[in-house]
A and B are shown apart, each in its own frame.
Chain A
Amino acid sequence: MTACLRFLRSNLREAILLAIIIVLTALGAARSGAFLGAGNFRGLGLSAAVIFLIGIGEAGVIATRNIDASIGSMTGLVAYFSTYFLSHHPGIGGAGTIGLALAAGAVLGLVNGLLVARLKLPSILVTLGTLFIYLGLLYMIAGDNEVSTGGLPSSYRSAATGSLAGVPLICWYALILGVAAHLASRYTRSGRVWMAVGSNPAAARVLALRPEKTVIISYVLSGLCCGLAGGLWGSIYPTVDASVGSTVLLQVLAAVLVGGVSIWGGKGSAAGVALGSFLFTLLLSALIVLGVSPFWESAVAGAVIVITVSLNRDAVRALLSPVQGRRS
């Protein structure tokens, strides 16, 4: 019993998230019977998996006390590029397309990483800049065209939505990636170095942990995650055009921050990101069931981000600390 309580206390955020998920599901089910149906859960799983795939990369970047604002553009650029390439060269098949998408994502992420770590520039400005450069590239390639994925080879179309044991493949990818991230961040030296870099970059440098290297790797991994999600995009959705990824940044940030990844760096768990992704997808779905216009989705994402960051323990402590309060 005490062990159980201790586990609950050390995973308080995950427990709270789980409780909210259960409450939301119950509310949705009370409102509409179809909410608990297999079809709805499959849709939720697909959306949550996409958010998780991108979010776990973003969480890695945020854990190093940086941010990657270009995830949406990277996802969109890779999604259009890979499906466009496949539609002109069907011979490369599903695996080839995903490989291409991963390579493209890694290159885009590497550009971010080098700019941030080598030139020592603030990550938000660099990635805001590349957000628009990548977006410009996407519009240049795509223009007003769209690729309809119905005509693409079946080896590609089943890459994300094919089922294994009744669960879409993309959920299995997310599971594998999540378990790998969990194990790597908790039980390997690199994972501990990663968190150390985020929680105190100056100390990490003194300890010769080479924070620049970690930062570059975190951006490359974020690019790879966006590459994977972008590569799989066309396998999930019927068309791919230049607007893919326009909502990704805010949704992923909301999911990651709700999932307990600290914006002060050095904190966060793969389980938290997974629960955050699922909770956020569930929230959007519940809004539809409750009859809220989809135009308000972005406002909900924003409200979730604002509320989460302002309810942070550090912020509350800052507010309550009397000495600082008297000063200013």
Chain B
Amino acid sequence: MARYRIADTDRLWSALLGAVAVVVIVVGLTSTSSFLTEYNAMLGSTAFGYVALMALPMTCIILVGEIDISVGAVMGISAAVLARTIDAGAPGWVAALAALAVAAACGALNGVLIAFLRVPSIVATIGTLALFSGIQLGLLGSATFVKVPAWIYQIGQGAISSSGIPIVLVILLAAAALLWVILKKLRVGGDIYSIGCNRMAAQVAGIRVRSTVFWLFLASGVVAGIAGLVYVGPIGSINADVGTNVELTVIATVLLGGIDVFGGRGRLDGVIASIIVMGLLTDVMVLNQLTTTVQSLITGALLICGVIFPTYLRRRADRGIKPRAGQPANPGAGQLPEESDGATAARMAQS
């Protein structure tokens, strides 16, 4: 009985988000006349496409109970490498490969720190955030680079000929489908949920915890690098501000999608719904010409709401399950996710 209740909470949240998506579309349609025209549909997806891309590996990382705060900086460093290599006279594809290689190296550094040196991902990625965005600033200084190859512009801004479907949307759908297969059909998807539920148990059960976590961070780095290229196209210029504060929107999107901050729980369809809501919201905010100030306020508030509401719903659902003897119902004030919490106790009780 209890099991259905937990699943229902997660499903309920996804359905709720779907409803919100409808409301946002209605508000957008009524408040601005140009909403959802071809141009804005494209602008909307490109203005948010890079965030949506990074939200997918972030979903896995939060599912295993870690977090990657450095994604925005990796995105920035990849754009910076692209700009500098093109500036040095390299052809576009070499520059793009160099950017992706650096992004992969950044992801690998995160992975080594977190999986093998056991640095908590919060601190490790705050440190690498500073390191990567610092290198980005060091590479670019206060200069702005405007030489971007045409095909990168096409990826970010172009549409598949005549149909009007943005290329970013195609990439995004392919990535989402891939993630769905990974999470639902492949063994590693089950491993990801198991590690997030109970890392010790997963380790004892023979799941390769460390290498899974390492590869997830590496993947996050690579995807952030791709996101950097996607972002750079439509903007057409690269400076030290690329990627600043993007991680916040990415994390807010994932958490709002109902992925449990403590890991091990959450549905991909919730994240997809959340991507749609956040994308449309960004679109509405841009169309209504809200300043970045208000946008940062709203994102900050959404992040906190995205943590509070799903967590609250889950705790309510968990209350139906008796925690194991000796464990209080809701411990975990300000602890790291590794500590036992009500949800973990409940999950262990039901299995």
Contact = CB atoms under 8 A, between A and B. Distances in A.
A125 B124 CA distance: 15
Contacts of B117: 310, 315-316, 318-319
A263 B123 contact: yes
B130 A309 contact: no
Interface in B118-132: 118-120, 122-124, 126-132
5 contacts: A117-B334, A120-B332, A130-B300, A212-B333, A263-B120
Contacts of A125: 251, 255, 261, 303-304, 307
Contacts of A297: 134
Classify chain A's interface size: 35 or more
B137 interface: yes
A125 B306 CA distance: 10
Interface in A105-138: 115-126, 128-133, 135-137
Contacts, number: 185
B122 A124 contact: yes
B24 interface: no
Interface of A: 64-67, 69, 115-126, 128-133, 135-137, 139-140, 201-202, 205, 211-212, 215, 250, 253-254, 257, 263-264, 293, 295-303, 305-306, 309-310, 312, 314-316, 318-319, 327-328
Interface in B194-253: 203, 207-211, 245, 248, 251
A205 B126 contact: no
A296 B340 CA distance: 41
B308 interface: yes
B27 interface: no
A253 B69 CA distance: 15
Interface string B130-141: 111111011001
B297 interface: yes
B29 interface: no
Contacts of B333: 116-118, 120, 201, 211-212, 215
8 residue pairs, one from A and one from B, having the closest CB atoms: A299-B134, A302-B131, A302-B130, A132-B300, A136-B297, A305-B127, A298-B134, A328-B210
Nearest to A67: B122
A25 to B, nearest CB: 24
Give the residue among A140, A264, A309 with the most B Cβ atoms within 10 A. Answer: A309
Given A125-B251, A295-B137, A310 B113 contact: yes
B331 interface: yes
Interface of B: 67, 69, 109, 113, 116-120, 122-124, 126-135, 137-138, 141-142, 203, 207-211, 245, 248, 251, 255, 261-262, 291-294, 296-297, 299-301, 303-304, 307-308, 311, 328, 330-337, 339-340
Chain A facing B: main interface SS: helix
B150 to A, nearest CB: 30
A117 B334 CA distance: 6
B119 A130 contact: no
Given A124-B67, A205-B328, A309-B119, A133 B261 contact: no
Contact of B141 (A211, A293, A309): A293
Contacts of B300: 128-133, 135-136
Nearest to B210: A328
Nearest to A210: B333
Contacts of A327: 203, 209-210
B113 A306 contact: yes
B335 A65 contact: yes
A324 B203 CA distance: 9
A250 to B, nearest CB: 4
A319 B119 CA distance: 11
A320 to B, nearest CB: 11
